A and B are shown apart, each in its own frame.
Chain A
Amino acid sequence: MRHHFLELIRRAATVLPADVTAALRSAAKREAPGSAAKAALSDVLRNCELAASSSRPLCQDTGTNLWQVYLPQSFSQVKVKSEILAATKAATKKAYLRPNAVDPVTGQNTGDNTGIGAPVVHFHEWTRKAVVADLLLKGGGSENVSALYALPHQGLGAGRDLEGVRKVVLDAVFNAQGKGCGPAVIGVGIGGDRATSMLEAKEQLFRLLNDKNADPTLAKLERKLLKQCNALEIGPMGFGGATTVLGVKIGKRHRLPASYFVAVAYLCWAARRASVTITGKGASFSEESEIAKTQIQPKKGRR
């Protein structure tokens, strides 16, 4: 399994998914001729072509490695985890990943991307016979501008409803300015607790940009926020321009009566995700994660 996981990491780090590339291309067309925003987007697209053709990481910050792994009932999580760790170390050696695991107390970098809580691996057991692993690489610049709100938020006039959600998402995107490498993909988690609202927001980032939320109310809010975020005119890299975000993806979790959290996960344009399905016959790779599939097919829900 190790070499399939290594290949998964290589793909995630070096090849931008087709839906993201397409969104960046149409964003480049929208920016004014001769603008810094247009030039930045065309550099980004050229950069990705070079990265893919030379198998080099398209961004030097290969980020938090977030794994979602689905296992048949007979599989050992311990064994699969050790395969993931081995693949992570090998990928670092091959320079698909930058050594990114730093001890916050001693300041020491482990040098191989493994450490306490690194990489982040979530296991799910299921009834299918295949092993599926979905991987998201999320850079630190974009993580730093992600935000968690507890509603009500008096300063923003944001109450405990979808109108309040709309307001805090706009606030988060405004606060990010150009610091998170936009145009961004915005994952939003409504509800849950402080930990799981953010997890929900991050899981939303696995969705395809051109999908449609299964929940019509959230689908409508996604479309509205996409338009309103772009009206902020922060633009690619914060240079000013028409495209501040490429997509807004919203999920929900049941909350306590006392709490109403809204987590906003900002993902840089380098929205690096990849997926592998491993069966007895071998491995097949794709850019569509299990979360992406379940979000648009609610009847096969994973929870």
Chain B
Amino acid sequence: MRIDIPVSEETIRSLKVGDEVELYGTIVTARDAGHKLMVEERPKFIEPFIKDGAIYHCGPVMKKRGKKWQVVAAGPTTSIREEPYEAKVMEDYGVRVVIGKGGMGKDTLAACKRLGGVYLHAVGGAAILAADAITQIKDVFMLDEFGVPEAFWICEVSGFKAVVTMDAKGRSLHKKVLTRSKKQLKSQLGD
């Protein structure tokens, strides 16, 4: 399913766990330092890029060719580290799509339900596929302060693939897998 960003609340609420999507438009990388900054200082510069938009948990490998940045490798990083911040970031900035890997916790899931948001899982480690879907680096913020992996990279994407694993109805694939594997673990420990 094709999703254009910025995206409407209605479109997001129509997505369900298991849907495969392809993103077109602008996505913004943000990870640990970026989330901390957004919650503690609420900077305005990032707002126009993520309102009704997408945050991508990613610390890319970048290369500078002349004055232009080129993306070399850009797979997702583990999302759960942003769990203490994400719900507030979604609410404060109007973020509708959070992309990463490994899934997120109950606060983010509740925020998806309440605000009309969705969590998309990209394939962890598949950095070349992700990089090749980024057609252009439009801008970068906090590069000097945070360094390459932690900076906000404003990326134009075309056909960026991901799977819905947490939806606006409050369903989570991660919760389901956790419950099932817990049952399996219990039986193995009693073995």
Interface residues of A (CB under 8 A from B): 36, 39-40, 43-44, 46-47, 50-51, 54, 56-62, 95, 97-100, 102, 107-109, 111, 139-141, 144, 156-157, 167, 170-171, 174, 177-181, 228, 231-235, 237-240, 268-270
Contacts and interface: CB of A to CB of B under 8 A. Distances in A.
A54 B191 CA distance: 48
Contacts of A61: 59, 75, 77, 125, 127
Contacts of B137: none
Given A47-B127, A237-B101, A240-B176, A60 B74 contact: yes
A58 B72 CA distance: 10
Say whether chain B's binding surface is mostly helix, strand, loop, or mixed: mixed
A228 B126 CA distance: 27
B59 A60 contact: yes
Contacts of A95: 61-63, 72-73
B61 A57 contact: yes
Contacts of A240: 173, 176-177, 180
Contacts of A99: 147-149
B129 to A, nearest CB: 5
Interface stretch (B3-11, B42-50, B85-93, B182-190): B182-190
Contact of A170 (B103, B128, B163, B185): B185
Contacts of B125: 44, 47, 58-59, 61, 139, 181, 268-270
Contact of A177 (B75, B81, B181): B181
Contacts of B163: 36, 39, 239
Contact of B123 (A43, A111, A234): A43
B131 interface: yes
A60 B60 CA distance: 6
A70 to B, nearest CB: 29
A95 B20 CA distance: 31
